[in-house]
Structure 1
Amino acid sequence: MAYPHPGWRGHLQVALAMAMVGSFVVVGKLLDAALPIGVLSWLRFSVALLVLWPWVYWKKLPQPQGREWGQLALAAFCGVFGFSLCTLYGVRDLPGIEAGILLGTLPACVALVAWGLLKQRPDRRATIAIVLACLATVLLQTPAQSVVGGHALRGSVLIILALLGEGVFAAMGQTLGQRLSPLVVTTWVSTFAWLMFLPLAVWEAPRVVWSQLGLPHLATMLYLGLGITVLCFVLFFHGVRQISSAATGVLTTVLPLSATLLSALILHEPLQLQHAAALGLVVAAVLVVVRPAVTVQPA
């Protein structure tokens, strides 16, 4: 008979976190005209830290020690700062279809980094799910109408670096979660990311017309800081310490799927048949990796 999967909460938490990260695409487009990426990111983490630090102080949770400081800084640099910048500039240098194919390998990159850093080799079911997830993400992309510039190699390298950075982020989340609370990990990753975005924000700030910012921008910024950062990171770090890195990699497919669906609902971008096919592949991949193995009891 089949028993309830002990990590179903972890799978759900990571999937919800990835769905929230996917909403960042829509939020970023809504704020793009008002705030550049450096200022936007710095303000996002400023809002988050106003909540996180009092929360951590009140809970009196164990703090990082020894090599954990370096792991936290690495997670922030690779999975937050580096991932954001490499993806942003990489997509500018690539035709959409090529960027989509590279981004579609995110589940495989997460599993590959985990194999190298944590020695977690994906089993057969996880490998099948990773392949399905990669195919789903590729289907979410549409062919580019024209070639973007002559820097395809540079763009490809940046996208690959971004994906490897996300893999490091997931691996460090599993490692840090063995001792530290997800709240502590979230707080310190956010603090390091805040410091990393600060120089870029200072450089970009003079170009911002602050008088044009109103209540909608404020509300969106609060969602970025409290939802996509605080809630999302806590969910993610709770989830990754309960499931394998291969499963985490598969569930990252929810990110582009969420971005696609929310873009259709909020930005009124058209949905196509390929999106429905991608949804089916995502569901299949998640079921493969989440569904527990069936154990047959002797009669």
Structure 2
Amino acid sequence: MTPTNHDTTGTRAQRRGMWLGFVGVAIFALTQPFTRLAVGTTDAPLMSGLFVAMGRAVAAAALSAAWLLWARAPWPHRQHWPALAMTAFGVVLGFPLLTSIAMRQVQAVHASVIVGVLPLATATVGALLHRQRPSLGFWACAVAGSALVVAFALLHSGQAGLHLHPADQLLLGAMACAAVGYGYGARLSQHIPAEQVICWALLLALPVTLPLALWSWPAQPLPSSAWGGFAYVAVFSMWLGFFAWYRGLALGGTVRVSQVQLAQPFLSMLFAVPLLGESLDFTTVAFGLAVVATVFIGKRMPVNTPHPISTPEHTKRSPT
């Protein structure tokens, strides 16, 4: 059977979505190492986690306001504001705050393994929001990947019995927040440009982020490395990365493109070594590989989609 133009267009959109998703993941992979640079360690604390989370959102909101004015972007429709609020809750407030607090207590390499559960969490939220029906094999991989992440956290908690380190609890909560923010942001990107999704979400959260950023402003002078780490997470992790990420999710489908995140733990680990002088041990690499394996297998499991993936509405152009 000869493929139709719709099939060809859908395949091209999925391929482009995967590449855009990878660009976003590569940008996000540096978030943990640069956040560690900004907050410091328990022995040598720098910025507070609250300031890093709220401050980066305020800086990105300022960039967003300038970009929206330059682009002459219209106000979102009323029906889009609830989804924008969920996006803001997940990726502007919840994920940055929880990770910034946790990163002072654990190394970036350790946190990278916990991030390994994010692809499956994002796919789960995407399946629910887009009414897709992943197969039983997909869910089995999701459970296996989550179990590996929890086992790794328990093994490295340093406590007797089944007790997660508080930082690991924060990181797991951050993964849940990110998955919600990614899912709602991807759905919105089917209706409004991906760039506008993160910009409006940042501006919507500004009444919360601005007062908290001012209240938690560092009282002491800080090294340039801390401000460099803060600048990266503000401009790239909190803003530009979402331009590519939400567009990729919209074009390729949340469930499928979310699996590109399988590369994120290893990229974060590799970046952490030269940036922070951290080391990789066998256990961390082994668990990281195992988590990636479950995600890779899950990616190959069938996902029943009620409607084929089409080009997002805002990218369609009427004939002239």
TM range (shorter): 0.7 to 0.9
Quickly say closer, same or farther: Cα 1:150–1:66, change in 2 above 3 A: same
User: Structure 2, unaligned stretches of length 5 or more?
Assistant: 40-44, 301-320
> What's the offset of the Cα at 1:38?
1.9
**Alpha carbons 1:63, 1:184 under 8 Å: kept:** no
* Cα deviation, residue 162, structure 1: 3.1
Change (3 A) 1:217 1:70: same
- More moved, 276-285 vs 25-34: 276-285
Of the three residues 19, 23, 43, the one matched with 2:30 is 23
- Give the superposition deviation at 1:148: 8.9
Match of 1:80?
Answer: 92
Relative distance call for 1:133 and 1:254 in structure 2 (3 A) is: farther
Q: Distance in 1 between matches of 2:152 and 2:211?
A: 35
Deviations 1:168-215 (A, max 9, x none): 11211221111211121121122234433334334423x521xx2354
Percent identical residues: 22
Give the superposition deviation at 1:22.
2.3
Match of 1:236 in 2: 245
With over 3 angstroms needed to count, the CA separation of the structure-2 counterparts of 1:192 and 1:38, relative to structure 1, is farther
Q: What corresponds to 1:204 in structure 2? A: 216
1:70 counterpart residue number: 82
The Cα of 1:64 is off from its aligned counterpart by 0.7
Post-superposition CA distance 1:116-163 (Å, at most 9, x none): 332122257865875786588679869326229997598777555433
C-alpha distance 164-258 of structure 1, shift in aligned 2 (>3 A): same
Q: How far does residue 235 in structure 1 lie from its aligned partner after superposition?
A: 1.0
Alpha-carbon offset, residue 225 of structure 1: 2.4
Give the distance between the partners of 1:286 and 1:279, measured in 2 at CA: 10
CA distance in 1, matches of 2:154, 2:271: 16
Alignment of 1:60 with 2:72, yes or no, is yes
Give the equivalent residue in structure 1 for 2:278.
Answer: 269
Deviation, structure 1 residue 255: 3.0
The equivalent position to 1:122 in structure 2, one of 134, 137, 143, is 134
Q: Partners of 1:139 and 1:265 in 2: how far apart?
A: 27
Tell me the SS of whatever aligns to 1:105. Answer: helix
RMSD: 4.2
- Name the residue aligned to 1:294: none
Match for 2:246: what amino acid?
Answer: F
Of 156-165 and 225-234, more deviation after overlay is shown by 156-165
**Distance (whole Å) between structure 1 residues aligned to residue 31 and residue 69 of structure 2:** 28
d(CA) in 2 for partners of 1:62 and 1:138? 44
Matched letter for residue 144 of structure 1 = H
Counterpart for residue 39 of structure 1 = 51
Residue 287 of structure 1, CA deviation:
9.0
Say if 1:127 and 1:245 are closer, same or farther in 2 by CA, change over 3 A: farther
Q: Which residue of 2 aligns with 1:258?
A: 267
Confirm or deny: 8 A CA contact 2:154 2:162 kept in the other structure: no
Q: Are 1:189 and 2:217 an aligned pair?
A: no
Deviations 1:232-267 (A, max 9, x none): 011111111012222243223333222211112221
Letter of the structure 2 residue corresponding to residue 225 of structure 1? A
The CA deviation at 1:218 is: 4.1
Supply the distance in 2 between the matched residues of 1:76 and 1:222 (Cα, whole angstroms). 20
Matched residue type, 2:29: G
* Alpha carbons 1:72, 1:172 under 8 Å: kept: yes
The normalised TM-score by structure 2 is 0.71
Matches of 1:218 and 1:92 in 2, distance apart?
15
Report the equivalent of 1:108.
Answer: 120
Residue 45 of structure 1 and its aligned partner are, at CA, apart by 2.6
Q: CA offsets, 1:72-121, max 9 Å, x none?
A: 11111123311233455678999x9x998875433332222223332122
**Change over 3 Å in CA distance of 1:81–1:122 after alignment to 2:** same
Structure 1 Cα separation of the partners of residues 226 and 163 of structure 2: 34
CA distance in 2: counterparts of 1:172 and 1:287, whole angstroms: 25
Consecutive unaligned residues of structure 1, counting only runs of 5 or more, are 291-299
- Provide the rounded CA distance (Å) in 1 between the counterparts of 2:178 and 2:133: 18
Aligned length: 288
State the alpha-carbon separation in 2 of the partners of residues 268 and 154 from structure 1. Answer: 24
CA contact (8 A) 2:123 2:258 kept: yes
Classify the secondary structure of the residue corresponding to 1:7. Answer: helix
